[in-house]
Structure 1
Amino acid sequence: MKIFILFLLLLSTTYATKINDVANVVGVRDNQIIGYSLVVGLKKTGDGTTSKFTLQSIANMLKSMNIDMQSVDIKSKNVAAVVVTARLKPFSRQGDKFDITVSSIGDAKSLEGGTLLMTPMKGVDGKIYALAQGPVSIGGKNDKGAGSESHSTVGLVYEGGLVEREINIDLYNQEYVTLSLKESNFKNSVAVQKAINDMYSTQVAVAMDPKTIKLKKPADKSMIEFLAEVQDIDMDYKPKNKIIINERTGTIIAGIGIEVKPIIMTHGDITIKITEQATPNQPAGSMVVDDSLVIGLNENELYTKEGTTTVANLVRSLQKLGATPKDIISILETMKSAGSISAELKVI
């Protein structure tokens, strides 16, 4: 398996961005809704007789249409029981359409070619907020296609959801509103406060904590106008240093400036020795990666100048030593646990 490493300089520096990109308005959010229903019209790829809840659902549906039939008498394999999920966007209005996801919960082989029957979709409060219905698309070929079988029991119904009940968010009549940073950071919270107050030359924003900024709209503007302007304000933003690892694909994303503190560790047949030296040693048989890094090929040791060791250099060096993606990921995780890497490490 090949490994892909992306080194992003922006992850370790301060740069200008708009407030809308780093903060949300509290209360303005998506809402999860869910429903249970049947997908019909399948080509003998539906649930079998072992999925008794499917057979009972078919019997209940037929009974609602004045057709009296017992579940034990139903042998159809053209029907599958599914859970229907979606996100209801903020400010959605009656009649708005949205996409929904349909997932099999029985032993159906595929939902390809099926049609979702009318499905009431409820929120966490048990109230019906939308109805869903329509043809299911699995976004691929039949179950003989490469890699398609594992995904053919999950499909989409494009614009299959229809909003029936609105979730009211009254921003217009509010005097105060709260912004929530997507990532907690004291500096960024103060930076948002400063950028907004500089824009209006008065104290309209107050940073309450590293994630929360409270705003008071100016007297000459509506809340909608105020928020439209606030979201478009530029600010100095410093994101957290992160190392993001995808174990399935072997992809590593890291900032160029993320430092690695001195450490000595062994992983399999690889020995890593990171030391702070004014001039890096260059043992016999070693090779120079760049002006700050030397690899000792005989002992698999890394020697670096003082204060120049970074994750970018480390990963590049490990590749030259022939380390596999699994080795590199394990080494980074171990270094994080040992405190040699202070940046946040996220495995996805």
Structure 2
Amino acid sequence: MNRKTGRESLLITLFIVLFWTGSAQAERLLDMVDVQGVRTNQLLGYGLVVGLDGTGDKTKKGHFTSQSLVNMLREFGITLNASDPALKNVAAVSVSAELPPFVRPGQQIDVIVSSIGDASSLKGGTLLMTPLKGIDGEIYAIAQGNMVVGGASAAGAGGSKVTVNTVTVGRVPNGATVERSVPSSFNRGDEIVLTLKKPSFTNARSIVRRVNEHLGPEVAKAWDGASVIVKAPRDQGQRVTFMSVLEGLEVTPAQPPARVIFNSRTGTVVMGQNVRVLPAAVSHGSLVVTIQETNSVSQPNPLASGTSVGVTNSNVAIEEQTGSLFYVPESVSLQDIVTAINGVGASPSDLMSILQALKEAGALRAELVVI
């Protein structure tokens, strides 16, 4: 393999390399932390989608979709047996939504509708009124409306079928009306707790220093590597203005840890700029196993009694291809590491093994993470 060609192929097909400059770029405080007490809440409900074009649940006697429809019609004074309705135009669904922080009754939020039966498509359906509950069992929103399904499907008379994207999941924009707000601790007390999205003692210290430089000494203090406590005004209006100022502060984060990330399913390798390597020698080679099978017929002797039988002949050969020994020099440059590893002509799958072996030998100074 041509070394230059192999290097280009590996870099194009496999390597996603993240480069960090020597001086890290400043980030907004808003992007680095979450505010304790300011969070979303998940809602969940069970409902029915009607108006489908024969793509609903294939219901049987006692099926939960039939039971749900019978129970709903009973509320309107209509009594049916669970086996009476033909529900090919009805589907049982789960309805989920996220309740944003500080939302008030009367506001509208989007909902996601997902089939939980054997409906083949929810396209063109209408979600009937569905209460959405929180983890505490209380109803926080009511959902209803026409669905938007991004996928499409088509089937022929011979049984062939083509489906684009998912047609059993849809969205109802502004499909739920909030009925109850969630209490927040944001306006309570004299302090606000900032929680780092990626805990780091260095980042916590940098945030404290930046806040105190801008708003005065002793305004912020680090509780640990994941939390920073900031003194805030009690007045709600002043507190909102105070948080607006905090969110806009720019903080220089610490450089990320040295890591090499393997995605075993896609063969992707991501290396950070802080990866270091010590001198090492890498031997790269491979075995090629060839198995060739041919079928033949064994004929009996004309004078002997017997029958013809099929025989499989196998030819197995093992060939060890010529390997190469390549020296990996000590380096603090990610480009040098990439160039050195590509020098052995490693394939994407071989690269993971080489990096793991370097780690075991103590030559790779980085954490290996497999996802």
Per-residue CA shift, 1:153-208, capped at 9, x if unaligned? 11111111211101132534531110000011110011111110111231110101
Whole-angstrom distance in 2 between the partners of 1:35 and 1:335 = 51
The corresponding residue for 1:178 is 193
2:279 touches 2:327 (CA, 8 Å); kept in 1?
A: no
The corresponding residue for 2:28 is 18
- SS where residue 9 of structure 1 aligns? coil
Q: 1:12 to 1:141 in 2, by over 3 A?
A: farther
Q: Give the letter aligned to residue 49 of structure 2.
A: V
Whole-angstrom distance in 2 between the partners of 1:63 and 1:334 = 68
1:35 touches 1:121 (CA, 8 Å); kept in 2?
A: yes
The corresponding residue for 1:98 is 109
Alignment match of 1:31 (pick from 33, 41, 64): 41
Query: Once the 2 structures are TM-superposed, how far is the Cα of residue 238 of structure 1 from its aligned partner?
Result: 2.0
Alignment match of 1:236 (pick from 252, 257, 278): 252
1:40 touches 1:116 (CA, 8 Å); kept in 2?
A: yes
Alignment match of 2:222 (pick from 183, 186, 207): 207
User: Which residues in structure 2 correspond to 1:78-97 (within 5 Å)?
Assistant: 78-97=89-108
Q: Figure out how many residues of one structure are paired with residues of the other and give that number.
A: 319
2:70 touches 2:82 (CA, 8 Å); kept in 1?
A: yes
Per-residue CA shift, 1:75-129, capped at 9, x if unaligned? 2211111111111100111121111111111111111111111110000000000
Query: Once the 2 structures are TM-superposed, how far is the Cα of residue 43 of structure 1 from its aligned partner?
Result: 1.2
Whole-angstrom distance in 2 between the partners of 1:99 and 1:315 = 49
**Matched residues, percent identical?**
36
Q: Give the letter aligned to residue 229 of structure 1.
A: V
1:38 touches 1:79 (CA, 8 Å); kept in 2?
A: yes
Q: CA RMSD in A?
A: 3.4
Per-residue CA shift, 1:213-267, capped at 9, x if unaligned? 0111268982222211111111111253455555555544432342346677889
- SS where residue 76 of structure 1 aligns? coil
Q: With structure 1 as the length reference, what TM-score do the two structures score?
A: 0.79
Alignment match of 2:275 (pick from 254, 258, 265): 258
Q: 1:315 to 1:106 in 2, by over 3 A?
A: farther
Alignment match of 1:161 (pick from 176, 181, 185): 176
Alignment match of 2:329 (pick from 282, 286, 305): 305
Task: Judge which range, 214-223 or 66-75, deviates more.
Answer: 214-223
- SS where residue 206 of structure 1 aligns? strand
Whole-angstrom distance in 1 between the partners of 2:285 and 2:142 = 56
Bigger Rg, which one: 2
Query: Once the 2 structures are TM-superposed, how far is the Cα of residue 65 of structure 1 from its aligned partner?
Result: 1.4
Whole-angstrom distance in 2 between the partners of 1:92 and 1:46 = 34
The corresponding residue for 1:290 is none
- SS where residue 131 of structure 1 aligns? strand
Q: Give the letter aligned to residue 190 of structure 2.
A: E
Whole-angstrom distance in 2 between the partners of 1:155 and 1:55 = 22
The corresponding residue for 1:273 is none
Whole-angstrom distance in 2 between the partners of 1:7 and 1:248 = 18
Q: 1:298 to 1:140 in 2, by over 3 A?
A: same
Whole-angstrom distance in 1 between the partners of 2:231 and 2:346 = 58
Q: 1:47 to 1:219 in 2, by over 3 A?
A: closer
Per-residue CA shift, 1:114-146, capped at 9, x if unaligned? 111111000000000011111122212225686
The corresponding residue for 1:141 is 152
Q: With structure 2 as the length reference, what TM-score do the two structures score?
A: 0.74
Structure 2: runs of 5+ lacking an equivalent = 1-11, 156-160, 288-320
